Amino acid sequence: MKSMPLERRGISNSRLVYGCMGLGGDWAGSPLTKEDYITAEKAVEAALEIGITMFDHADIYKKGKAETVFGEVLKNRPDLRDQIILQSKCGIRFPDETGVHRFDFSKDHILASVDGILSRLGIEHLDVLLLHRPDALMEPEDIAAAFNTLRSAGKVRHFGVSNMTSAQMRFIQNSLPEPLVVNQLELSLARLDWIEQGILVNQKAGLNTNFADGILEYCQMADVQIQAWGPLAKGLFSGAAKVDSPETVKNTAALVAQLAAQYEAEPEAVVLGWLMKHPARIQPVIGTTDSKRVLACRDAVRVADAMTRETWYALLESSRGVRVP
């Protein structure tokens, strides 16, 4: 299996990313507790144990507390910073005294956001900064000015986006001297529109597919790393299916369990392995704070390497509920 785009760029060879959104307690702004710190430490240790060396943040996660608690982990382990790749996102603004919920890719906001991220994490630079969802008012020249300032100051080394179409990426890229290296999208065995968009070309069944055309192809041609958020589908196929779940979910969970036994792996590894088998060399971002579930993902690479085309399509068909056209 060929290497990932981030690996080819010399940025990271971590096949999985640990997503830190769940760290930091609640979303209400309550003070961090001792238990919040313990949860973060256990999650980070579990991620490191299975070979994860890339960690994903965003300035809004738990209103900054996710980065703060992770910063404490780094403070307690000063050797760790040089062993990992840190990625964060900015551009989403919650309602405040100046306005409603909104997106903001202005130069001033990007610069201020990065300063806050670095302060909360207690680090001098970010390895990767992503723009967090598209801003309808984005101006590529303003974004480029912010990126150039951050790069020149040594605060950010690489840049990317999340949840963007290929057209939006090209629109921004046209003003940038350096390539965008990541696009983070929701992809999973339960969220199949990214597959449907391709296999339902010239099919009536594809008229209602809601996934922008050409994202996967553009990212592969431009050597952009596709990262998948929500890759475990909230555990639907690895233990969270209920009696009243749709038949497609229950049948797919049963198939995943069968394959897990066949591969001598956990169901989570099968679900992730299915994603990672795709030629785009998708990099899943796992977000569970349960260290046992993190450890259950350890064989995802091995499963992906072993999975046949027939097995991949069997899982796709099971989740779709109908055969491919």
Q: pLDDT tens across 93-138, in order? A: 999 999 999 999 999 999 999 999 999 999 999 999 999 999 999 9
Q: Which uninterrupted H or E stretch holds 43?
A: helix 34-49
- Domain with residue 149: its CATH number is 3.20.20.100
Query: 229 lies in a domain?
Result: no
Query: 70 lies in a domain?
Result: yes
Q: What beta strand segments (E) does 76-140 contain?
A: 85-90, 92-93, 102-103, 126-132
Classified as helix, coil or strand, 19 is strand
Q: pLDDT tens across 301-317, in order? A: 999 999 999 999 999 99
- Say whether 263 is catalytic: no
Q: Work out the average pLDDT over 133-150.
A: 98
What was the pLDDT predicted at 29?
87
Residue with tokens 């198939």: 255
Query: 91 lies in a domain?
Result: yes
Instruction: Give pTM, 2 decimals.
Output: 0.96
Confidence of residue 211 (pLDDT cuts 50, 70, 90): confident
Query: 291 lies in a domain?
Result: no
Q: pLDDT tens across 256-309, in order? A: 999 999 999 999 999 999 999 999 999 999 999 999 999 999 999 999 999 999
Burial class (CB in 10 A: 0-12, 13-18, 19+), 203: exposed
Q: pLDDT tens across 167-176, in order? A: 999 999 999 9
- Phi and psi (nearest 5°) for 295? -65, -30
Which residues, in sequence order, are CB contacts of 285 under 8 Å at separation 6+? 16, 17, 18, 19, 56, 184, 227, 228, 229, 231
Number of domain units in the chain: 1
Query: 307 lies in a domain?
Result: no
Nearest alpha carbon to residue 162 among 139, 135, 127: 135
Query: 235 lies in a domain?
Result: no
What was the pLDDT predicted at 304?
98
What was the pLDDT predicted at 206?
80
> Do 194 and 166 contact (CB within 8 A), yes or no?
no
Q: Work out the average pLDDT over 77-98.
A: 96
What was the pLDDT predicted at 51?
98
Question: Can you give the three-state secondary structure of 191-232, one letter per residue?
Answer: CCHHHHHHHCCCCHHHCCCCCCCCHHHHHHHCCCEEEEECCC
Query: 206 lies in a domain?
Result: no
**What domain range is 132 assigned to?**
13-186
Query: 240 lies in a domain?
Result: no
Angle of CA points 19, 185, 72, to nearest 5°: 20
Q: pLDDT tens across 1-56, in order? A: 689 999 999 999 999 999 999 999 999 989 999 999 999 999 999 999 999 999 99
Confidence of residue 239 (pLDDT cuts 50, 70, 90): very high
What was the pLDDT predicted at 134?
96
Q: Which residue of the set 18, 37, 61, 218 is catalytic?
A: 61
Burial class (CB in 10 A: 0-12, 13-18, 19+), 324: exposed
Token representation of residue 271: 């679900």
What was the pLDDT predicted at 212?
83
Q: What is the overall mean pLDDT for the chain?
A: 96
What was the pLDDT predicted at 325?
86
